[in-house]
Structure 1
Amino acid sequence: MRIDLHAHSTASDGTDTPAELVRNAAAAGLDVVALTDHDTVAGYAEALAALPHGLTLVTGMELSCRLDGIGMHLLAYLFDPEEPELARERELVRDDRTPRAHAMIGKLRELGVDVTWEQVSRIAGDGSVGRPHIATALVELGVVPTVSDAFTPDWLADGGRAHAEKHELDPFEAIRLVKAAGGVTVFAHPGAVKRGRCVPESAIVELASAGLDGIEVDHMDHDPDTRGRLRALAGDLGLLTTGSSDYHGSRKTCRLGEYTTDPEIYGEITRRATGAFPVPGAGGATGA
């Protein structure tokens, strides 16, 4: 059983539509995929309508959080998407993305980069605009060779020359909100040092005490030593460990199913969740 619990669509910063994502997940040999767009569940209905036979879809979302000035992402699974308090907070985070993008574009123009809102808006399409869309614009302009190269202190990394803050949740409050909506929480790529500063392990200890369910260990941004250290920490704290691709379509080099989650861990996630249930596909629509 092959399970990928971290994937993005055009509802946020991926390049596959939700329908394309589930079809590509089935073609990649996955049995389970979680749609975890940033701060939104807008793509879920389309993904569900197109869900192929043999593929199970997990309701998910990647919440933007900040702890002691350090950005971090919290994966939420199988929560009630209609729960009003969580819905209100995710809308606040999502709605702040547009003014933040305008601020970063302004900083880039001050640095001599001829990027425009129109260009970034075109790249984002109907999705919730984010840094990867601005990074893609920098690639189009020849400023950087790849999207990943834009996430450095020179450009868009936390604290970088063109970085701008946005509304983000306190992770302890995010855990509370997701739990109240019947969901399960996993700290996404906690050791991804290439993206900027990471929260210390002492903070993970505190988050575990507050109800964090797990940490994402097997991820393209974790080297073997980091994975080993995180796995040991999870064992000490009684946290679940997941593996995921963090798929963004053509925007990143990772492939669906590049890293996967153990079926027993997935089973435990589904047992803990009370807000929603995984949905098995019955042969969705085949159109684009």
Structure 2
Amino acid sequence: MRIDLHTHSTASDGTDTPAELVRNAAAAGLDVVALTDHDTSRGHAEAIAAVPEGLTLVTGAELSCRFDGVSLHMLAYLFDAEEPELLRERELVRDDRVPRAKGMIAKLQDLGVPVTWEQVARIAGDGSVGRPHIASALVELGVVSSVSDAFTPEWIADGGRAYVEKHELDPFDAIRLIKAAGGVAVFAHPLAVKRGEVVPETAIAKLAAAGLDGIEVDHMDHDQATRARLRGLAADLGLLTTGSSDYHGSRKTCVLGEFTTDPEIFGEITRRATGAFPVPGTGGRL
């Protein structure tokens, strides 16, 4: 059984529509895929309507958080998307994305980069605008050769020359809100040092004590030694361990199913969730 619990669609910063994503997941031989767009559940309905037979969809989101000045992401699975408090916080984060993007564009222009809001908005389409859209604009302009090359201190990495902060949740509040909405909370790529500063392991222990369910271990931004370290930490803290692709379509080099989650871990996630249920395919076609 192949299970990928971290993907993105055009509802945020992926390049596949939600319908394309579930069809591509089935074509890639996945049995289960989670749609976890940034701070939004807007792609859920389209994905649910298109789930092919043989594939199960897990609805979710990736919430933007900040702990002691360090940005981090919290994966929320199978929560009630209409629960008012969590919905309100997601909308606050999402709505702050536009002024933040415009602020980053202004900084880039001051650095001599001819990027415009119109260009970034075109790339984002109907999705929640984010740094990957700005990075794609820099690729279009020939400023950098790839999206990942834009996420450096020279450009738009945390604390970089063109970086602008946005509204982000406190991760302890995020865990509380996810739980109150019947969901399951998993810390995404917690030691992805190539993305910038990461929180210390002591912070992960505090999050575990506050109700964190798991940590994402098998991820393209974790090397073998980091994965082993995280597995040991998870064992010590009683946390679930997941694996996933963090698929963004053509915007990143990762592919669907590049890393997967153990079926027993997935079973435990579904047992803990009370806000929503996995959606089996009911007639979509490849």
Q: TM-score range by the shorter chain?
A: over 0.9
Alignment check: 8 A CA contact 1:100 1:164 kept: yes
Post-superposition offset of 1:285: 5.9
What code does the residue aligned with 1:202 have?
Answer: T
Residue in 1 that maps onto 2:162: 162
What SS is found at the alignment partner of 1:65?
strand
What SS is found at the alignment partner of 1:159?
coil
Residue in 2 that maps onto 1:206: 206
Residue in 1 that maps onto 2:46: 46
Spell out, residue by residue over 1:121-165, the C-alpha distance to the aligned partner (whole angstroms, 9 max, x if none): 000000000000000000000000000000000001000000000
User: Does residue 67 of the first structure (1) align with residue 67 of the second (2)?
Assistant: yes
Alignment check: 8 A CA contact 1:48 1:284 kept: no
What code does the residue aligned with 1:227 have?
Answer: R
Residue in 2 that maps onto 1:265: 265
Post-superposition offset of 1:283: 1.8
Spell out, residue by residue over 1:59-100, the C-alpha distance to the aligned partner (whole angstroms, 9 max, x if none): 100000000000000000000001000000000000000000
Residue in 2 that maps onto 1:118: 118
What SS is found at the alignment partner of 2:250?
helix
What code does the residue aligned with 1:54 have?
Answer: G
User: Does residue 23 of the first structure (1) align with residue 8 of the second (2)?
Assistant: no
Structure 1 residues not aligned, in runs of 5+: none
Q: How does 1:1-288 map to 2 (within 5 A)?
A: 1-284=1-284
Partners of 2:253 and 2:262 in 1: CA distance? 23
Q: After the TM superposition, list the runs of 4 or more consecutive aligned residues in structure 1 that deviate by more than 3 angstroms.
A: none
Q: How high is the sequence identity, in percent, across the aligned residues?
A: 82
Alignment check: 8 A CA contact 1:183 1:273 kept: yes
Spell out, residue by residue over 1:176-212, the C-alpha distance to the aligned partner (whole angstroms, 9 max, x if none): 0000000000000001001100000000000000000
Alignment check: 8 A CA contact 1:72 1:190 kept: yes
The count of aligned residue pairs is 286
Alignment check: 8 A CA contact 1:78 1:183 kept: yes
User: What is the TM-score with the length of structure 1 in the denominator?
Assistant: 0.99
Post-superposition offset of 1:174: 0.3
What code does the residue aligned with 2:39 have?
Answer: D
Alignment check: 8 A CA contact 2:78 2:183 kept: yes
Partners of 1:57 and 1:69 in 2: CA distance? 34
Post-superposition offset of 1:284: 1.6
Alignment check: 8 A CA contact 2:53 2:285 kept: no
